[in-house]
Chain A
Amino acid sequence: MQELVVNGVTRQTGLPGRTPLLAYLRNDLELNGPKYGCGLAECGSCTVLVDGVAARACVLTLADVQGRAIVTLEGLAPGSQMHPVQAAFIKEAGAQCGYCLNGMIMTAVALLNEKPEPDDAEIREALRYNLCRCGAHIEIFNSVKRAIADMRS
């Protein structure tokens, strides 16, 4: 039996282990945060946290994350609250169309969990493989900088 924890809730999926994690999160749990972008782990739109580490849900199956804890954009902060990284992206307008936003936020959260004070080059490097077509890179970078400052204070 496939079992995993999603945003703090233990789920018996009742689904075959080969079921794509992204399909389960989006279609069965009706979570909008993780987005389908490429299905190849190239663009990062689908990013979730698996045991606190950024993971590209589009290539994982339920079997791959059996027994693990998944956090999606919706689970970053309790209830209607915002995680400081989410709040920073809103304040700095770190998105244009926003389709990549989930991946940017989740990857930034994972980065700051691992390293609360990354330097500029480390921020850019961590987001290298999160693609944004609109060219919101400057605002995205500024959002992460603001999140670091906000979380420090």
Chain B
Amino acid sequence: MNDLQDYGKSRSDLIDRDGTLAIVRAADGSDVVAADAERLDLFVLVDAAGSITAFHGHVDMGTGIRTALAQIVAEELDVAFSRVRMVLGDTSVTPDFGPTIASETIQVTSAPLRRAAAQARIYLVAMAAERLGVKAEDLVVHDGLVGFRAGDNRSISYGELLEGERIRLALADHVETKPVADYKIVGQSQPRVDLDAKASGGLVYVHDMRVPGMLHGRVVRPPYGGIDAGDFVGTSLISVDESSIAHVQGLVALVIEGDFIGIVAEREEQAEEAMRCLRAEWKPHPAMADLRDLEAALMANPSTSRLLLDKGDVDAALASARTRITRNYVWPYQLHGSIGPSAALAQFENGRVRVWSGTQNPVPMRADLALLLGIPESVVDVVRMEAAGCYGRNGADDVTADAALLSRAVGKPVRVQLTRDQEHVWEPKGAAQLMSVDGGIDEGGDVTAYDFSCRYPSNAAPSLALLLTGRVSNKAAVIQMGDRTAIGPYEYANHRVVCHDMAPIARAAWLRGVSAMPNTFAHESFIDEAAFVAGVDPVEYRLRYLKDPRASELVRQLAQRADWEPHTTPRMERDENGVLHGRGFAYALYVHSKFPGYGAAWSAWVADVAVDPSTGDVSVTKVTVGQDSGLMINPDGVKHQIHGNVIQSVSRVTREEVTFSEIGVTSRDWGGYPLLTMPEMPSIDVMMVPRPNEDPLGVGESASVPSAAAIANAIYDATGVRFRELPFTPDRILKGLREAGVATAPEPAPLAPPAARSRPKKPWLIPLAAAAFGAIGSLGVQTLPIRSAISPIARPDASLYSAQTIARGQALAKLGACFTCHTVDDGIPLAGGRAIETPFGNVFSTNITPDVATGIGGWSFEAFARAMREGVHQDGKHLYPAFPYTSFARTSDSDLHALYAFLMAQRAVAQANKGNELRFPFSMRPLMALWNTMFHKATTFAADPARSTLWNRGAYLVEGLGHCSACHSPRNALGAEETGQFHLAGGMVDGWAAPALNARSRAPIAWDEKAFYDYLRTGFSPAHGAAAGPMGPVVAELKDLPDDDIRAMAHYLASLNSQTVPSTDTAAAIAKFDAQAATRARMPASYAGARIFDGACAVCHEQGRGPMLFGVKPSLAVNTAVHADEADTLVRVILEGIRVPGLGELGVMPSFQHHLDDAQIAELATYIRARFAPDRAAWADLSGTIGKIRARPSLDSARARADH
């Protein structure tokens, strides 16, 4: 059950029962008593138990209106606050107040609720008066108990009055509400009613709604990411390859209609897997306008101009002005950025559909669903539950429609969850906006002309399902929403305001302070600039043109509160660290709703900033914010809203912008769209003007509106440079400061060209190799030696072997990675079938269970040993060196016996082997005989008497069964490992770079014995990083190897690096690298890369920052992959993540393949390389590397998902 409002009731359930008093309204004004309950608007319900339920069609988006509305009802009814329960946004029971927008819940739509509550009280008091035989004026109510003002102890409660009654009253137009002086609940701070449940995991959010038999849905969105107008919208899907998801368990349905694709599965992770695996073919769509240059894009977008104000003669005043200030101001597309991607649940039952939704607009949502499903609105119920704060319209409506489509398709309740990338890409953005000002100043320093225009690419953003299924037109709709606060607050003699209405570019809808924030950015930046031109303090200058007395009073009070020091030039105060400090002022009355609209609360800011002229970093250190909200229902609630608006808008102004490619939105996670974090929050001093006798005003948005200009004006005060385009990111600021000669940092040196590699790893020279094989072939295949078969035997009786021998064999099998190669994902251990990629084609591992027919059950030890040492099958055929017999050959007889014993003791599994997929001539096995003559010596390991026992043991394990060189040595054109100085000098496997283990290692801290030990034992060395890719399963398998053997391997490997000096203090060495890397966090090689790193990577990789989290926190400053010659491993890790089954304690790294595009990964890799490996050359051709790796996911990315 819902902790906040129990759903599933109809109006009739609530009011057609005894013991109730309902304040209702009939839409057509008819008699409410005779009316069908379902056709009434219900406002307030008092019942015989003395509890009060009040109904409001708006929803609480996290701003606390549930609490404030309940305060109003409790006040007017004279009951304790705790008796009142609010039901919000449930179309089955709540009245239609339109969408929850424009901060109007308290200011506008609370009025009928207040009247209804007052009317109920008056009626109940009258009832009591009648029962008690006195006049109503003699009575007074305390917490629902009606008693005498004085002299009589009798009393009667609301509940008692309603016993057996069933009363419906039509909401009166005029009701005498309480005088403010009598308020006891309104105007007092009231704790939020929803936090107990939210802090304890109660059922509050739509995300948590579940019903029996519920299935899970995901949608697959089209490739035109975040674009919702154009001929291609809804018409681009060519085909869907169902076989691409045939392997997914639990699939229930694939639903396709137009460009809508949905998947229903029994479990959520199954639906998710199918969503990611589904292959669909789409028509190419036209490139969108280049939104990397917003000013040009907005200027070029066709528009219709709408004159909003034309006072005086602007043109004449401009012509005669002494100084003209002509400016453009640019606002970026921004995200609502809900922390929870939208989710919804839909259920079809008995001819009705009920959706549980986080919509901002329950009633319009119901109409959308009726249209989508072709059913009457009367059979659709929209139950609004709380959702992640959105401050406008996010994906909640879209996902609700998605859920309805999927639920209807399967006839069962379906919950649909959007993914993070879908929410980012498809939520209707806060629109970009371009403001142009042409201002004229006369000799006296007065503004004589203000010619303002704005361009707002708006969008109605129809529900996606309606668009994608073709139910509604994909033609761009132009709506008039750029005009909010377009007429600024200042009384200029000649004043013209024009709004250019235009079609959308990217999908957009309203976001907090819609168009008013950008317009105010321009108004308040301009007047600040004009003040300095006039040589007047900017606060004083504002007051000159501000004729609204409440505005003037707010401005004066705030200036005083903030100790504003009048000044007429930018002060550019520099502290001892060279950081510049400044203050800026801005004011706004947020005028919203359909033009000309009306005002919400008045708000003004004094922003203090610190600007580092060497890096361009802007820090908002303090905001003193004043607000006149009229009567404040819940003062603490107002204060929290002001705090929230300040922090959110500082984030929007200083860092937020949606990025685009030619295809669409590229901000697909918090790396692509970082938010302000806790350590960056400014201190905030809130000044709330007490106005208890004025009407309450909306407070949900006002304090955001002055933000951008206040910060821009403060930056001007600090630096003397004006910035007119958001966000104020370090790169933009530094560029501006450089242009103005204020920056103290030199121009960056061009990036060093990539250094020639010491020895480029040879690509596989396939043509050459083919030629070589061809030459051999021409000698005549028949002349090559054919090895004889070794007679099959009956399967050996494993009971002949001791448990000890078998156990030793098991550890050796793990050392040899037998399981890793001879088992497919989710497959039977050792039964083979895994593809091993080689440059010559795929080789499939074989069944090595003791099955006689398909495995090695018929192999004698002699046959087994020959295979291990000479690479020859029991039947005499040559094996390919993907099976590393070249290393295994060194294994002792005794160990081979143990291994044999272990394998023969396993369960025999009949599973036929797959044929290899090698290209000619590599498919000719006999050629391997020659290869072996050239490259292989089948000799067992011989100890080096000059070395220690430990060293020899290590060498035996590393070079024998451990076959480290199979991956870590480069190979020649014929696929043989290179030797000598190139032995263990680094190789490639499964598309991963296996780093050099010898002196050619690029690791900044040399691999020493301890590092090798840590890495092989745990999968992680703090001085180098974590096992990734194919190395993960290797370490996991080594878990069974005794500690002494791991130490021996580490000892031997360390000896390969002759330069290795045992580290005396590795931790200190790491700390030194980390400290150096920390100093390079600013002035990054790529600002885009830096932003992605901060939002996506830093949580797990920024040393000395953030919380302690489960798993390791690898330092990139010492990481082997970051210092490698090639970017391959780093790119692969970013794309594929790291998950090593069996090494859970290391934690995991997620894959970013769906969240970062190639360009973003290139920026990120550039940043990481330059910051963490500054002495290495920048990687060349990153985009080529990334494209190559994305096109060829490694085997490991599939293997990592395997179930262990």
Q: Tell me if B365 counts as interface (CB < 8 A to partner A).
A: no
Would A129 and B1141 count as touching, CB distance under 8 A? no
Q: Tell me if B236 counts as interface (CB < 8 A to partner A).
A: no
- Interface-facing stretch out of B515-523, B778-786, B830-838, B1196-1204: B1196-1204
Question: A96 is contacted by which of B341, B644, B671, B1201 (Cβ under 8 Å)?
Answer: B644
Q: Tell me if B218 counts as interface (CB < 8 A to partner A).
A: no
Q: A36-B207, A133-B338 are in contact. Are A97 and B61 (CB under 8 A)?
A: yes
Q: Tell me if A148 counts as interface (CB < 8 A to partner B).
A: no
Q: In the complex, A120→B1144 CA distance in Å?
A: 32
Question: B643 is contacted by which of A101, A131, A139 (Cβ under 8 Å)?
Answer: A139
Would A63 and B1108 count as touching, CB distance under 8 A? no
Interface centre among B201, B636, B1202 (most CB of A within 10 A): B201
Least CB separation from A85: chain B residue: B199
Q: A97-B388, A133-B648 are in contact. Are A35 and B207 (CB under 8 A)?
A: yes
Would A18 and B1203 count as touching, CB distance under 8 A? yes
Would A23 and B199 count as touching, CB distance under 8 A? no
Q: Tell me if B269 counts as interface (CB < 8 A to partner A).
A: yes
Interface centre among A66, A68, A105, A138 (most CB of B within 10 A): A138
Contact count A vs B, C-beta below 8 Å: 243
Q: Tell me if A6 counts as interface (CB < 8 A to partner B).
A: no
Q: In the complex, A31→B210 CA distance in Å?
A: 11
Would A129 and B1202 count as touching, CB distance under 8 A? no
Would B62 and A96 count as touching, CB distance under 8 A? yes
Would A124 and B643 count as touching, CB distance under 8 A? no
Closest CB in chain B relative to A2 CB, distance in Å: 9
Please count how many residues in chain A sit with their CB below 8 Å of the partner chain's CB atoms. 79
Least CB separation from B62: chain A residue: A97
Chain B interface helix/strand/loop/mixed: loop
Q: In the complex, A132→B1142 CA distance in Å?
A: 34
Q: Tell me if B1106 counts as interface (CB < 8 A to partner A).
A: yes
Q: A43-B670, A129-B1098 are in contact. Are A107 and B1107 (CB under 8 A)?
A: yes
Closest CB in chain A relative to B667 CB, distance in Å: 13
Would A98 and B670 count as touching, CB distance under 8 A? no
Question: A17 is contacted by which of B200, B670, B1204 (Cβ under 8 Å)?
Answer: B1204
Q: A30-B210, A131-B339, A133-B337 are in contact. Are A111 and B1107 (CB under 8 A)?
A: yes
Would A105 and B199 count as touching, CB distance under 8 A? yes
Would B644 and A37 count as touching, CB distance under 8 A? no
Q: A97-B61, A125-B679 are in contact. Are A42 and B1096 (CB under 8 A)?
A: yes
Question: A38 is contacted by which of B648, B670, B1147, B1202 (Cβ under 8 Å)?
Answer: B670
In the bound complex, residues from chain B placing their C-beta under 8 Å from that of A23 are 267-269
Q: In the complex, A135→B686 CA distance in Å?
A: 14
In the bound complex, residues from chain A placing their C-beta under 8 Å from that of B1142 are 63
In the bound complex, residues from chain B placing their C-beta under 8 Å from that of A140 are 678
In the bound complex, residues from chain A placing their C-beta under 8 Å from that of B62 are 95-99, 134
Q: Tell me if A5 counts as interface (CB < 8 A to partner B).
A: no
Q: Tell me if B1025 counts as interface (CB < 8 A to partner A).
A: no
Question: A36 is contacted by which of B341, B636, B677, B1139 (Cβ under 8 Å)?
Answer: B341
Closest CB in chain A relative to B1054 CB, distance in Å: 30
Q: A23-B269, A63-B1144, A96-B63 are in contact. Are A37 and B340 (CB under 8 A)?
A: yes
Question: A59 is contacted by which of B199, B216, B1150 (Cβ under 8 Å)?
Answer: B1150
Would B1203 and A134 count as touching, CB distance under 8 A? no
Question: B208 is contacted by which of A20, A32, A53, A121 (Cβ under 8 Å)?
Answer: A32
Bits for A102-139, please: 1 = Cβ < 8 Å to B, else 0. Answer: 10010100110010000001001111111111111111
Q: A30-B210, A129-B677 are in contact. Are A38 and B199 (CB under 8 A)?
A: no
Interface centre among B64, B191, B1144 (most CB of A within 10 A): B1144
Would A99 and B201 count as touching, CB distance under 8 A? no
In the bound complex, residues from chain A placing their C-beta under 8 Å from that of B388 are 97, 99, 133
Question: A129 is contacted by which of B645, B651, B1107 (Cβ under 8 Å)?
Answer: B1107
Q: In the complex, A137→B267 CA distance in Å?
A: 35
Near B by CB (< 8 A), chain A positions 58-96 give 58-61, 63-66, 68, 72-74, 82, 86, 89-91, 93, 95-96
Bits for B1135-1166, please: 1 = Cβ < 8 Å to A, else 0. Answer: 00001011010011110100100000000000
Bits for B305-345, please: 1 = Cβ < 8 Å to A, else 0. Answer: 00000000000000000000000000000001111110000
Would A41 and B1100 count as touching, CB distance under 8 A? yes
Would A53 and B1109 count as touching, CB distance under 8 A? yes
In the bound complex, residues from chain B placing their C-beta under 8 Å from that of A149 are none
Would A54 and B201 count as touching, CB distance under 8 A? no
Q: Tell me if A151 counts as interface (CB < 8 A to partner B).
A: no
Would B1203 and A82 count as touching, CB distance under 8 A? no
Q: A17-B1141, A98-B62 are in contact. Are A59 and B1148 (CB under 8 A)?
A: yes
Least CB separation from B249: chain A residue: A16
Would A40 and B1155 count as touching, CB distance under 8 A? yes
Q: A73-B200, A90-B196, A125-B679 are in contact. Are A18 and B417 (CB under 8 A)?
A: no
In the bound complex, residues from chain B placing their C-beta under 8 Å from that of A136 are 640, 643-644, 647
Q: A86-B199, A124-B679, A140-B678 are in contact. Are A98 and B640 (CB under 8 A)?
A: no
Q: In the complex, A99→B206 CA distance in Å?
A: 11
Q: Tell me if B194 counts as interface (CB < 8 A to partner A).
A: yes
Q: In the complex, A96→B419 CA distance in Å?
A: 22
Q: Tell me if B973 counts as interface (CB < 8 A to partner A).
A: no
Would A93 and B647 count as touching, CB distance under 8 A? no
Q: Tell me if B192 counts as interface (CB < 8 A to partner A).
A: yes
Q: Tell me if B1095 counts as interface (CB < 8 A to partner A).
A: yes
Q: A99-B338, A133-B337 are in contact. Are A55 and B202 (CB under 8 A)?
A: no
Would B1150 and A39 count as touching, CB distance under 8 A? yes
Would A129 and B679 count as touching, CB distance under 8 A? no
Q: Tell me if B1111 counts as interface (CB < 8 A to partner A).
A: yes
Q: In the complex, A55→B1148 CA distance in Å?
A: 11
Would A137 and B199 count as touching, CB distance under 8 A? no
Bits for B1115-1148, please: 1 = Cβ < 8 Å to A, else 0. Answer: 0000000000000000000000001011010011
Q: A36-B207, A39-B1150, A73-B200 are in contact. Are A63 and B1204 (CB under 8 A)?
A: yes
In the bound complex, residues from chain B placing their C-beta under 8 Å from that of A111 are 1107-1108
Interface centre among B389, B417, B647, B1148 (most CB of A within 10 A): B389
Would B201 and A72 count as touching, CB distance under 8 A? yes
Q: Tell me if A145 counts as interface (CB < 8 A to partner B).
A: no
Q: Tell me if B253 counts as interface (CB < 8 A to partner A).
A: no
Q: In the complex, A36→B92 CA distance in Å?
A: 29
Closest CB in chain A relative to B813 CB, distance in Å: 21
Least CB separation from B1095: chain A residue: A42
Would A93 and B386 count as touching, CB distance under 8 A? no
Would A137 and B201 count as touching, CB distance under 8 A? no
Q: Tell me if B396 counts as interface (CB < 8 A to partner A).
A: no
Question: A131 is contacted by which of B196, B670, B1201 (Cβ under 8 Å)?
Answer: B670
Would B204 and A139 count as touching, CB distance under 8 A? no
Q: A97-B61, A97-B389, A135-B648 are in contact. Are A141 and B678 (CB under 8 A)?
A: yes
Q: In the complex, A136→B676 CA distance in Å?
A: 12
Would A55 and B1139 count as touching, CB distance under 8 A? no
Q: A97-B61, A133-B389 are in contact. Are A125 and B1148 (CB under 8 A)?
A: no
Would B1110 and A50 count as touching, CB distance under 8 A? yes
**B interface list, Cβ under 8 A from A:** 61-64, 191-192, 194-196, 198-205, 207-208, 210, 216, 267-269, 336-341, 386-389, 391, 417, 419-420, 636, 640, 643-648, 651, 669-671, 675-679, 681, 684, 1095-1096, 1098-1100, 1105-1111, 1139, 1141-1142, 1144, 1147-1150, 1152, 1155, 1201-1204
User: What 5 A-B pairs are tightest by C-beta distance, nearest first?
Assistant: A97-B62, A135-B647, A97-B389, A55-B1110, A64-B1144
Given contacts A27-B210, A90-B196, A133-B389, 14 further A-B contacts (CB under 8 A): A16-B1203, A17-B1141, A53-B1109, A64-B1144, A66-B1144, A90-B195, A98-B198, A125-B1107, A133-B336, A133-B388, A135-B644, A135-B651, A136-B643, A137-B678
7 CB contacts below 8 A, A to B, read A39-B420, A53-B1109, A55-B1147, A96-B64, A97-B62, A131-B675, A134-B648
**A interface list, Cβ under 8 A from B:** 16-20, 23, 26-27, 30-33, 35-45, 50-51, 53-56, 58-61, 63-66, 68, 72-74, 82, 86, 89-91, 93, 95-102, 105, 107, 110-111, 114, 121, 124-141
